[in-house]
Amino acid sequence: MSEQPHKNVVSLEGVKGELSAFADLVDNTLVSPSGQANLLYIKSVTDAQKISRTIITPFYEMEDMSAYRDYIITYPGSEEGTTVERALELLLSGYAGLAIQSRVYFFDALLSENSSVSQTTTESVTQGPSDGFTENLAINLNLVRRRYQSPQLKMESMLIGNISRTKVAILYDESRVNHEVLAELREKLGTLKVDILQAAGELEKYISSDKLRLIPKTIVTERPDRVVFNLAEGKVALLTDTTGFAIVLPCIFNDFFIAMDDKINLPFVGRFLKLLRIIGVAMTLWLPALYVALTSYNPEIIRIQITLLIAGSRATVPYPSFVEVLIMLLMMEFLTEASIRLPRAVGPTATTVGGLILGQAATEAGLVGNIMIILVAAVAISNFLIPLNMMSFSIRVLKYYFVLAAIVLGLVGIVICFVGFTMYLCSQRSFGQPYFRLFLLDDVMKGQRKGKGGKG
């Protein structure tokens, strides 16, 4: 623990040597009647005002060096310097190095440029809190702790990424969490070797164990109330610095269809909305595939009126139904993707163009039947009923598999694909917990045994 004094002094010099070509490195010597101190910090990551206020000013106000040193030692966020690597780490992460009386101390003066707490952008709710996580870990922790004031809410901290050194906080409720999941998570994070970690989604990629990842197995959310709700259920939350999203794990398929709105509304309204979402998912997955199957393979299933209508609307279309479907779906995808990336100036133009093209013009030109327009619009809209984005995107891509199955085998293909998909979902494990099951029966039985209703 105790280093040779002159080694510490050397270390501040040595550290400076490592940080050559750092134009934002500031090396100051504070000289006062009572003593001298060397100050080393990187300007771009430290708060100059804070340094001036808490380090420089007291230095000139205090008479005694030892008193100043005690002040520095007891200041929150200060640490004694040990090795060169540690010193580098601290300096790079916004600490200021102070060499006093042949000892080196490091001082937390981090300046984080970030936006203050703002509204959620990807998950919206009609009534209820709409503040979202920001890029600053401390603020995020604040948002969570304020809502979950319990001594059981433990926090563990880790640094991930050799270069990015992103701070990751693991939050869990000790009394409710599943300790196996926690152990597995710690192991995974501990053995993670990656250079840069910037987004929560990346972290999800690294800790997931499945090779063929078709559906998300952790919830990525920017809402503190969702995180708090899940913590109370016994899940583990990962908060990452420099990104405004949190990861919650383990999760089940069902979790992706819960919007925080359901808790606010009356129960039967909440259940209706949930049913609506499930119908939306069913529609967006199967409607295009069903169209291909029913028009080209098995027209006997639909009524004769609709059959004749579809046949009539396709009379001018020169190519088979699956080409029509794929073209329309792809156009819809282009529109959706472009509207995310559009610069603000071009925005309205694109939507107008998209609406016009996909709407009237294509039908009038006889390129697609007008039933297709309704179909594609329904599919696109119902896709966004899913509250969480990762699942929404997954479903968006999965429907093409169903269309493919329908092209090859028709209705049989859709059924086979459906069974396969169900089996695949059931074989998923989210951190050892089963992902897709009929939890309803378990809840019902648990509820009966408890004498009250289950979690619904």
Partner 1 sequence: MAKPRYFYYLIIMNSLINIINFVPRELIDRRFEGALMSIVISVIVGTLFVYWFGFLISKFPEKGIPEILGPLMPKLLVSAILLFFAVLWYVAGATTLLSFVDITLRFISPDTGPYLVMGGFLIMVCICCRFDSLSLLFGLEIILAITLPLILYATFKALGNPNFSWDAVLQIGTHFWHAPDWMSLAAATFSFSGYINLIIYNRVFQNLKLKHIWIVGIEGFLVLLVTFFVPIGYFGTVGVERHVYTWFATADSI
Partner 2 sequence: MKRWLLAIMLVLLLFTGGCDFKDIDRRIFVVAIGVDAGEKEGHFKISLKMALPQGEITKIDEKVQILTEESFSISEAVRRMKSRVEKELDFVHCKSIILGEGLAQKDIRHIMDWAVRRRDLQLILHVAVGRPDALKVLQVKPQSERIPSNSLIMAMSGQGTESPFITKVFSFQLMRNIYEKGLDPILPIIEARGQEEFVINKIALFDKHRIRETLTPNETRLFNLLSRKNLRTNLPAFYKGEMYQYYTEQSTSAYRIFTPGGGKPTLRYRIKIKGILEESSNEDIVTQSLLKEIGAAGEEDLRKKIHALLRKIQASHQDPLGWGLRYGARHFNNRTEMDNWNDLYAQLRFQVDVRVNIKYSGVTK
Residues in contact with partner 1 by CB under 8 A are 297-298, 408-413, 416-417, 419-420, 422-428, 434, 436-438, 441-442
Q: Which is nearer to partner 1, 338 or 409 (CB)?
A: 409
46 contact partners, CB below 8 Å, separation of at least 6:
94, 95, 96, 109, 110, 111
Residue in 14, 128, 299, 434 binding partner 2, rule: CB under 8 A: 299
Q: Which does residue 312 touch among partner 2, partner 1, none (CB within 5 to 8 A, set by kind)?
A: partner 2
Could you give the CA distance from residue 301 to residue 398 in angstroms, rounded to a whole number? 24
Q: Which is nearer to partner 1, 270 or 434 (CB)?
A: 434
Q: Which is nearer to partner 1, 337 or 442 (CB)?
A: 442
Q: Which does residue 412 touch among partner 2, partner 1, none (CB within 5 to 8 A, set by kind)?
A: partner 1
x/- string (CB under 8 A) for partner 2, residues 335-354? --------------------
Stretch of residues binding partner 2 (CB under 8 A), selected from 56-64, 196-204, 314-322, 348-356: 314-322
Minimum Å gap between C-beta 424 and partner 2 is 13
Q: Which does residue 407 touch among partner 1, partner 2, none (CB within 5 to 8 A, set by kind)?
A: partner 2
Q: Which is nearer to partner 2, 132 or 413 (CB)?
A: 413
Q: Which is nearer to partner 1, 17 or 420 (CB)?
A: 420
Instruction: Work out whether strand 433-434 and strand 429-430 pair parallel, antiparallel, or are unpaired.
Output: antiparallel
How many residues of this chain interact with partner 2, rule: CB under 8 A? 25
Q: Which is nearer to partner 1, 114 or 428 (CB)?
A: 428
Note whether 229 and 262 are within 8 A (CB).
no
Q: Which does residue 314 touch among partner 1, partner 2, none (CB within 5 to 8 A, set by kind)?
A: partner 2
Stretch of residues binding partner 2 (CB under 8 A), selected from 58-66, 67-75, 93-101, 311-319: 311-319
Note whether 383 and 393 are within 8 A (CB).
no
Stretch of residues binding partner 2 (CB under 8 A), selected from 20-28, 151-159, 295-303, 434-442: 295-303
Q: Which does residue 420 touch among partner 1, partner 2, none (CB within 5 to 8 A, set by kind)?
A: partner 1
Minimum Å gap between C-beta 320 and partner 2 is 5
Q: Which does residue 401 touch among partner 2, partner 1, none (CB within 5 to 8 A, set by kind)?
A: none
Tell me which residue of 425, 387, 371 sits closest to 281, measured CA to CA: 387
| 201-228: burial string, b at 16+ Cβ within 10 Å, e else | ebbbeebbeeeeeebbbbbbbbbbbbbb
Minimum Å gap between C-beta 442 and partner 1 is 8
Q: Which is nearer to partner 2, 214 or 317 (CB)?
A: 317
Q: 389 to 448, contacts with partner 2 by CB under 8 A?
A: 404, 407-410
Q: Which does residue 257 touch among partner 2, partner 1, none (CB within 5 to 8 A, set by kind)?
A: none
Q: Is residue 317 part of the contact set for partner 2 (CB under 8 A)?
A: yes
Q: Which is nearer to partner 2, 380 or 407 (CB)?
A: 407
Residue in 321, 383, 389, 392 binding partner 2, rule: CB under 8 A: 321
Q: Which is nearer to partner 2, 153 or 310 (CB)?
A: 310
| Residue that has been written with the tokens 């583990």 in this structure | 236
Tell me which residue of 277, 274, 244 sits closest to 121, measured CA to CA: 244
Residues at the interface with partner 2 (CB under 8 A):
295-297, 299-300, 304-305, 307-317, 320-321, 404, 407-410
